[in-house]
Every structure is written in structure tokens, then in C-alpha cells.
Chains A and B, each alone.
Chain A
Amino acid sequence: MTAPALAVRMNGIHKSFGPVHANRGAQLEVGAREIHALVGENGAGKSTLMRLLAGLYAPDAGTIEVAGPSGELRDVTGWSTADAIKAGVGMVHQHFMLVRTLTVAENVVLGREPVRGGMLDLARAIADVSRIGDQYGLRVEPARLVGELSVGEAQRVEILKTLFRGARILILDEPTAVLSPLEVKELWGVLRRLREDGATIVLITHKLDEVVDISDRITVMRHGETVARMQTSEATPEAIARAMVGRDVALMGTRNEQGGVRKPSDEIPRGSAPRSSLSVADLVVMNRGLRAVDGVSLNVAPGEILGIAGVEGNGQTELIEAIAGLRPVESGTVKLGQRDVTKASVRDRTESGLAHIPEDRHRRGLVLDYSVADNLILGDQHRYARGATSAWALDDARIGANAQDEIRRFDIRPPDSVLPARALSGGNQQKIVIAREMGGAYDVLLASQPTRGVDVGAIEFIHGQIRAAREAGKAILLVSAELSEILALADRVAVMYGGRIVATLARREATEERLGPLMTGATDTTRPAA
């Protein structure tokens, strides 16, 4: 390959937000007509760098150059989003910006509607959207309401919108976070077709297998700086991870080293009595008038991890919240050991040995304005009071001692118990939740998206904790949108689709090829007769 013409060159980029130095001298060179992966841990400054490129912010220092129509780079430092769109730079954000009550076509043309005689020319809008969709394999019916679309379809609409505005340089911010494995494969198809058609794509991600799968070249960021650039063909996941974290990391089971990380389930030492620590029978949970959980039964034994795989929004959230006591149960039962807790309060369940790592630490898992120490007692606050009623004072000495102890054991950084939880990084915030839920006594653990949005180092730590809990005989129900996480940890894998468990597989039978179709509602044709 001859040295390719550049589509984007960013040099010496600095950007601060108050005391936070998001970019410190970052560099990026993206060749024309390539898929470029921008990788790094959370908080490495990837999104900031791309927002600078898309004109959402202006850099404090440094230059941004983008190739014009003639292919020559021109300085566009500090341009606006309108300038960027005009020059063909478009960004697909992590959070979709669509009007749910409008159709796909209406959303796509919003802001530059085709007009005939002063009226919206809807027929032409639909034709335009269909044409672009067909061209790149972005299949979605233009006349449907966006509110009715799946997450994957909504993302296609976002990409269509960007293409409709004439984007030739597409920036995608963590596009696969919400997609099923099948949808990810479709997205890769779309991106390759765009590349063949002459588009340049920058993909922000922290999933290494994706980087290896799809990209041509890689830029790695750490602490706001560019630390490595490589050709994907010459890179290994280990090398990328080392560059991201700055040290060697034990990667969790990716598809290439499936099952190699841990012992197969039948070798796990178990207690002699295989009684269930968590049993759920015929559970029905409603959400917005729909049966979000539709007759789920499952058992988790002590010393076992049951993984629930599935595309998000298939009832996993409602299932976990119903078990935790945060959502009323329509029918069915939840038992902890021998105790029926179907109607018990949250506190009752905690007292009965239930621990819960909630999927959304910013909404449920932490009170962000409370100190680390105060967050480390959430759910246990009555045990830290000097008396039984709520009028009693909390025992600050014990709260402080508990905080010191858990900060040390779980390596929460910075080790300052009076900082508000808001001030910590995502990984350390999650460690607060992990320390609180797993640091004390419990029998059953609900772990919902335990490593969402945390960096590779923290993932390694959290997975270690979950494995240790299994060895200690805890019953663990794990829900994760990351199939690789399920495969790395679970002894058995249950697949949830449309509020039901459509299949339960032993770990050895659970392969990505088999789980993928199940997650999208296909019936399992490879199920052995036994």
C-alpha cells in the first residue's frame, strides 16, 4: 500500500473542561477511504477529540485539518458544526437524537426537507431515503414511526441522516454498545460498503475484538494523549490492550480463546447439597402494560454463575428489578434459599442475603452527590445508626472505618472517602458499588451489567471478584449485554428474548454462533436431541 492521502489530520490538540484535561497534545491521522478505530479506556479523551473534529467544541490549542473536495488538507481549526456538516463531516452519537413521533423519512430529512410549492415533498423524502438505504444496505422502512423501531434500526436511521446530509467522513461513537451480535455484523457490512464507496470512517470503541474485526488502522489514546498508532493487520488484541492500559492485562475470553480462561463448569467444586439459593418460578412482571417478563423460571445454585444473555430490552432489567424488590411482581414467586420473598421489601431481601449490583450506577447504584463513605453504606444505613428508628444519629466513626477498609480492599481511587462519588472515574464508581455489595455478607448476588462503561483494568478486577465469589459458594445471577462477558464467567447460559427464557445451555454448548440467533428470536435448530 502506498502512503495514503489523508482525510483528517489533528495535531497537538489540547482541550480542558475546568480542571479536567481531556486532551493533552493528542494527535490523529486518518487516511482517506479507511476505517479507523480510535480506542482507549473510558476517559481517555476519544469522544472529546471527535467532538472537536465535528465542530461541537473548539480546541484550546492545536490544529485540525480536513481534506476538501480536491483531496487537499485545509485548516479548519475551531469550525462550527454547521461548517463541519457542509464540509461532509458527520457524527453519529451514542445517544440517538431522533423524534419518536415522526417517521423514518421525516427524521432523516429534518432540517433540510425537500420542498415542492412550499409544502414538504414527502414522496421525494421517502424516495431519497430508500435510495440511500438501498445503496448501503441500511434496511429500514421509510414510512415507519421511529418510536416503533428497535435500537439497531434507530441507529441505521441516525447513519442515514448523516449520509443524507452529505457526510463523507463519518464518526461513530461506540456504535455497537446497544446492538446484538447479528446487528453488529450488519453494521460492519454497511461500513465496508461505505468505505468501498469512498467514505472515511472513524470508529470510537473500547472493544478489542471489534477493532480487529473491522478497522484498517488503529489509534490508541490514554490520558488524553495519543500513545500508539498501528496497522490492524500487524496488531494483536494483547498489544492494543497493553497500549490502552499501559501494562499487561489478562483479557477476558474473547471468541478466540473461548473457555480458556476458566475451568469448565463440571469441574467446579460444589457443596454436597445442590440446593438452590435463588429460585424464580413462573415470574410475570409488567412494564407499561406489557408483560416485560413473561413466565420466567430459573434456579441458581450456590457456587454457580447463571448468565443471562440477550439483546437489551428483552425483559432482563424488569427481571432483575423484580427479584431485587424494586418492581412489583404480577404473578409467580421469588425465593432466597427457602424463604419466599416475592412480596418482601428491598431491605428485607438485603437482610435475607441478597446483594445487587444494579445496571445503572448513576441512577440507582450511587447517590452521586454523597461522599464515597456515605455511598458505601447505602442499603445498610440502618446498621450504621446508633438506634433502631430513623431519628437516631449515624455512627460516623464506623462509617469512616468501613470506608477505609473497603477503599483499601477494593482499591478505590483516589483513596479519599469524603470525595463525592461524582468526582470518581466510571471504573472507580463501579468499584464503590462492587465493594458495598460484595464486601459484606450475602448468599445471592444479582450482577447486572457489572462492567458497563468501565475500563479494561477495572473489568479484569471485577471479573476476578465475581469468580472469587463463586468459589466462595455464592449463587450469582449475571446479566450482561456483552456476550463475551457471559461466556467468560457463566457456568450456564440462559438466553432471554421477548420476556421469556428461550434456551438454557451448559457453558460448553454455548457458542457465539449458537447464542447469536437465539438472542434475536430464532429458534434453536442446533439443540441436541438429548
Chain B
Amino acid sequence: MTSSVGRRRVEEALLPPLVALLVALVVGDILIILVGQSPSAVFRLMLSGTWGNWYGFGQVLYKATTLICTGLAVSVALRAGLFNIGGEGQLAAGGFAAAVTGLVLPAGTPGLIAVPLCIVAALAAGGLVGAIPGVMKARFGAHEVIVTIMLNFIVLAFLNWIVASHLHVPETLHTPDMHAGTVARLMDWVPLFHGSAVNASLFIAIAAAAIVGWMLFRTRGGYELRAVGLQPDAAEYGGVRVGTVWIKAFVISGALAGLGGINYVLGYKHYYEEGFAAGAGFLGIAVALVGRNHPLGVIIAAFLFATLSQGGLAIHALVPKQMVEVLQGVVILAVAAAVPEVRRLVRSARGGVAE
């Protein structure tokens, strides 16, 4: 009984990203022809620059890691009927907390202790930032879209101020290197990945996706969270405290975005640097929509956007890099047009703001 439901969910998760990719390919062809290049040459270059060699593939995996986390963050919120646009700030807060934790720990702390502590710090910081819009919505009815957007500016400015005034290494915009808590790069195990930033955070992100899937579709909390997202009145009737679920969902969402911070901090640079999030928090919205808010779909969509992003660097010689940004936009539009969640959100945002 459950298997047939599970099958339908997987199809639901896989189909839109594939259709979106197809549409993007067709539109991409047209654009490439318009700038006077051969589509096959450009796409061949794009593929060889990403999945075609170990370094490029490693970079795709690295970029996908952060996007899986921020995509999951947006998905969990959307499943509860909430639009979390604060991923950028939550991601930065998570990275910052992980870096500071690694800085506070004495050098030589075993990784088995230090890494979990840094991860918990990232989750907690993201969750804390996420709790703010959750509480404000549940207690005061503040619209979460406005609160999360504004909170991005506040969080980023606050972190920048701390780094600039207290924590930066002179002449730079980053914190000193962590003493403990770093995770291994894949190239340490597989030399072929040499030079690419992909690291063990990838496995943590995939594990997070599995846990989110279990939470959403197997547990009572997930049952109630999805009911709140689909029909808050029915959830309330079913004895669910809607405001509490909103807060919980926002904390989980923020924590997942915060988790994304470990990829850069624990796995790559080993310090927090101003602007490291670089839009990955916002791109999480697109990843969630293309992935239909399903953890498996989110993973696939994260790879898709990571490929486009890395591929943009590879084809720079033939076409403008902005071409890839256009393609990303096309993918997002193609999926957004087909995703019921978007239509519902637009409707609720209209009604919600007017009230």
C-alpha cells in the first residue's frame, strides 16, 4: 500500500526537473545559435567542463552540497505553507557559528568531538535565525516573506560587523583559521579530485536529505506539518496547533540552511569569510521548486543548478557567462509554471498582504 504511494511521490519528484531541463536545453540552443555559436560545441564544452573531468565533477559536487542544504530548507518551510526567503542569512549564520566554534576549541581537539560540535553550532545558529520569522508569524501575524527578506540584511550586516571589528585577520575579510573541526576533502581519499573543493560535507547533506524525507513522510510531526501546509483549517480541526508547527518548521528550515555553512567553512576554507554564501541561500528557492519540495528531487535539482553554475565557467570562452544565468532563469520559470505550490503561494501572498 505504502509502496504505490511512494512510487507516485518519486515520479512526482523526478518529472518536473527533467522537463525543466529539456525546456532549458531547447531555449539554450536558440540562444547559442543567436550569438553565433554551435549548440553542440557549447554543450559539449559544458559537459566536459563539469561531468567530463574529475576536477569539474568535484566542483559540481561541492556546489551541490550547499544547494542541497538550502534547497531542503526552503522545501521544509514550503511543505508547511511558509516561504522562507531568509536562507542567505541563515546560511551565513550557520557558517559563522561553525567557524567560531572551531576557533574557540583548543587545537588538537579530536575530530570526533570537534566536527559534531561545529555542525550542531551551524544548525543552532541557522535555527535561531529561522525561529525569528516563525515566532513573529505565529505570535503577531507578521508575513514571513517580509520578515525573512529583511532579516537577511540584518544578519549579514551584523556578522560583517563582528568580523570587521573583532575577528578578522588583518588585511582580509575573514576570520582566523579554525583550530579544530575541519572535515576531509574528497581529494584526500581520491587523488583524482585534486584541486576541487568537494568534501565530506556532501555526505552530511545527503544524510540530511534522507532524514528530512523520513521526517516529512513517516513521522507524526511530518503528517501535521504537511497538513498545516495543505489546509491549515483542517489541521487545526485535527488538533494540530498551527502556530507551533509554523515555528517548528521555521526552526528546522533555518537549521538546514545553517547546515549548508559547513561545506565552505569545515570542508573548504576553514574560516568564515564575508559574502561566502554568494547567493546559495536564494538559489535554494529555485532548487526547492524544481525539486518539488521532495528531498530526492532537491538533490537532483541541486546537481542540476550546480552543473549549470560550474558549466558557466567552462563555456566562458565561447559564449558570455551570463548565458548560464539566463538558462537558470529559464529552468526556474519552466518549473514554476508547473508547480502548484507556487500558484498557491502567490494566491496566499496576495490575500495575506492585503489583510
A residues in contact (CB < 8 Å) with B: 324, 326, 345-347, 350, 356, 358, 363-371, 373-374, 378-379, 381-382, 384-385, 389-394, 396, 400, 417-418
15 additional A-B pairs beyond A356-B237, A364-B233, A378-B234, beta carbons within 8 Å, are A346-B236, A346-B238, A346-B239, A363-B231, A365-B234, A370-B226, A370-B227, A378-B238, A379-B238, A379-B239, A382-B220, A390-B221, A391-B220, A393-B218, A418-B1
Q: Which residues of B contact A345 (CB under 8 A)?
A: 239, 241
Known: A371-B5, A379-B239, A418-B4. A366 touches B234 (CB 8 A): yes
Q: Could you list some 26 contacts between A and B, CB below 8 A? A: A326-B236, A326-B237, A346-B236, A346-B237, A356-B237, A358-B237, A363-B233, A364-B233, A364-B234, A364-B236, A365-B234, A370-B226, A370-B230, A371-B5, A378-B234, A379-B237, A381-B223, A390-B220, A390-B248, A392-B220, A393-B214, A394-B219, A394-B220, A396-B2, A417-B1, A418-B4
Closest A residue to B231 by CB, please name it: A367
B250 to chain A: closest CB distance in Å?
Answer: 15
B224 in the interface (beta carbon within 8 A) = yes
Q: Which residues in window 48-80 of B have CB below 8 A to A? A: none
Q: How far is the CA of A369 from the CA of B221 in the complex (A)?
A: 17
CB neighbours of B215 from chain A (8 A):
391
Asked if B235 lies at the interface with its beta carbon under 8 angstroms from chain A, I say yes
Residues of A contacting B236 in the complex (Cβ-Cβ under 8 angstroms): 326, 346, 364
How many Å lie between the Cα of A363 and that of B234 in the bound state? 6
**Which residues of the other chain, A, contact B223 by a CB distance below 8 angstroms?**
374, 381, 394
A364 near B220: Cβ-Cβ < 8 Å = no
A390 to B244, CA, bound (A): 12
Q: Which 7 A-B pairs have the closest CB atoms?
A: A390-B221, A347-B239, A378-B238, A385-B220, A346-B239, A379-B238, A364-B237
Report B-chain residues with C-beta under 8 Å of the C-beta of A378: 227, 234, 237-238
A368 touches B231 (CB 8 A): yes
Q: How far is the CB of A491 from chain B (nearest CB, A)?
A: 27
| Interface of A: prevailing SS | mixed
CA–CA, A366 and B231, complex, Å: 8
Contact B237 A390 (CB under 8 A): no
Q: How far is the CA of A350 from the CA of B219 in the complex (A)?
A: 21
- Interface-central residue, B224, B231, B239, by most chain A CB under 10 Å: B239
CB atoms of A381 and B237 under 8 A apart: no
**Chain B residues near A389 (CB-CB < 8 A):** 221
Compute how far the CA of A374 lies from the CA of B222 in the bound complex, rounded to whole angstroms. Answer: 12
| Complex interface: chain A residues within 8 A of B220 (CB) | 381-382, 384-385, 390-394
Tell me which of B1, B2, B220, B227 has the highest count of chain A C-beta atoms within 10 A of its own C-beta: B220
In the complex, the number of residue pairs spanning A and B with C-beta atoms less than 8 Å apart equals 86
Interface string of B188-232 (1 = CB under 8 A from A): 000000000000000000000000001100111101101100110
Which residues of B3-39 have CB atoms within 8 Å of chain A's CB atoms?
4-5
The distance in angstroms between the C-alpha atoms of A201 and B214, with both chains bound, is 57
Inter-chain contacts of B2 with A (CB < 8 A): 396, 400
> Which residues of B approach A to under 8 Å, CB–CB?
1-2, 4-5, 214-215, 218-221, 223-224, 226-227, 230-231, 233-239, 241, 248
Residue of A nearest to B220 (CB): A385
CA A320 to CA B67, docked complex, whole Å = 47
| Shortest beta-carbon distance from B122 to chain A in Å | 20
Q: Inside 8 A of A392's CB, which chain B residues have their CB?
A: 219-220
When chains A and B are docked, how far (Å) is the Cα of A365 from the Cα of B233?
Answer: 9
Taking the nearest CB of chain B, how far is it from the CB of A103, in angstroms?
Answer: 23
Q: Are B230 and A367 neighbours in the complex by a CB distance under 8 Å? A: yes
Give the docked Cα–Cα distance between A346 and B219 (Å). 20
Task: Known A390-B224, A392-B220; judge A350-B239 contact (CB<8 A).
Answer: yes
Q: How far is the CA of A369 from the CA of B81 in the complex (A)?
A: 14
For the complex formed, measure the closest distance between the CB of A348 and the CB atoms of chain B, giving whole angstroms. Answer: 8
Contact B5 A394 (CB under 8 A): no
Instruction: Say how far B240's CB is from chain A's closest CB, in angstroms.
Output: 8
Residues of chain A lying within 8 A (CB to CB) of residue B234: 363-367, 378
Residues of chain B with a CB closer than 8 A to A373's CB: 1
- Whole-angstrom CA separation of A396 from B220 in the bound complex: 11
CA–CA, A384 to B223, complex, Å? Answer: 11
Contact A391 B219 (CB under 8 A): yes
Taking CB atoms, residues of chain A closer than 8 Å to B233 are: 363-364
List of B residues within 8 angstroms of A368 by Cβ: 230-231
Q: Contact check, A365 vs B237: say whether CB atoms are below 8 A apart.
A: yes
Report the Cα distance A390→B221, complex, angstroms.
Answer: 4
Contacts of A417 in B (CB 8 A): 1
The winner among A326, A347, A364 for most chain B CB atoms within 10 A is: A364
Nearest neighbor of B223 in chain A, beta-carbon distance? A381
Q: How far is the CA of A135 from the CA of B345 in the complex (A)?
A: 47
**B237 to chain A: which residues have CB within 8 Å?**
324, 326, 346, 356, 358, 364-365, 378-379
B217 to chain A, nearest CB (A): 9
Q: Which residues of A contact B1 (CB under 8 A)?
A: 373, 396, 400, 417-418
Q: For the complex, what is the distance from the CA of A394 to the CA of B214, rounded to whole Å?
A: 11
Q: Which residue of A lies closest to B241 (CB)?
A: A345
- With both beta carbons as reference points, the residue of chain A lying nearest to B237 in the complex is identified as A364
- Residues in B whose Cβ lies below 8 Å from that of A391: 215, 219-221
Nearest CB in chain B: distance from A26 CB, A? 32
Residues of A within 8 A of B221 (CB): 389-391
Asked whether B230 lies within 8 Å of A393 as measured between CB atoms, the reply is no
- Alpha-carbon distance A366/B219, docked complex (angstroms): 19
Least CB distance from A319 to B in Å reads 16
Give the CA-CA distance A356 to B238 in the complex, in Å: 10
What is the CA–CA distance of A346 and B248 in the complex, to the nearest angstrom? Answer: 19
Which residue of A381, A385, A400 is within 8 Å of B238 (Cβ)? A381
Point out the residues of chain A lying under 8 angstroms from B230, CB to CB. 367-370
**Cβ of B22 to closest chain A Cβ, rounded Å:** 24
The docked-state distance in angstroms from the alpha carbon of A390 to that of B235 is 14
Shortest C-beta distance, B256 to chain A (Å), equals: 16
Q: In the complex, what residues of B have CB within 8 A of residue A396's CB?
A: 1-2
Contacts of A367 in B (CB 8 A): 226-227, 230-231, 234-235, 238
Task: List A contacts of B238 (CB < 8 A).
Answer: 346, 367, 378-379, 381
**In the bound complex, CA of A382 to CA of B224 (Å):** 10
Q: How far is the CA of A369 from the CA of B1 in the complex (A)?
A: 16
Residues of A within 8 A of B219 (CB): 385, 390-394
Query: Which of A363, A367, A368 is most buried by chain B, counting CB atoms within 10 A of its CB?
Result: A367
Complex-state Cα separation, A400 to B4, whole angstroms:
13
In the complex, the answer to whether A418 meets B5 with C-beta atoms within 8 Å is yes
State in angstroms the CA–CA spacing of A394 and B234 once bound together.
Answer: 19
Q: Which of A356, A384, A393 has the most CB of B within 10 A?
A: A393
Q: A269 to B332, alpha carbons, bound, how many Å?
A: 66
A324 CA to B236 CA in the complex, in Å?
11
Shortest Cβ gap from B237 to chain A (Å): 4
Bound CA–CA A373/B1 (angstroms): 10
A385 to B219, CA, bound (A): 7
A391 to B215, CA, bound (A): 7
CA distance A366 to B234 in the complex (A): 6
The answer for the CA separation of A389 and B220 in the assembled complex, in Å, is 8
Quick one: closest A residue to B221, CB to CB?
A390
Quote the shortest CB–CB distance from B328 to chain A (angstroms): 29
A371: B residues at CB distance < 8 A? 5
Chain A residues near B235: list those with CB within 8 A: 367
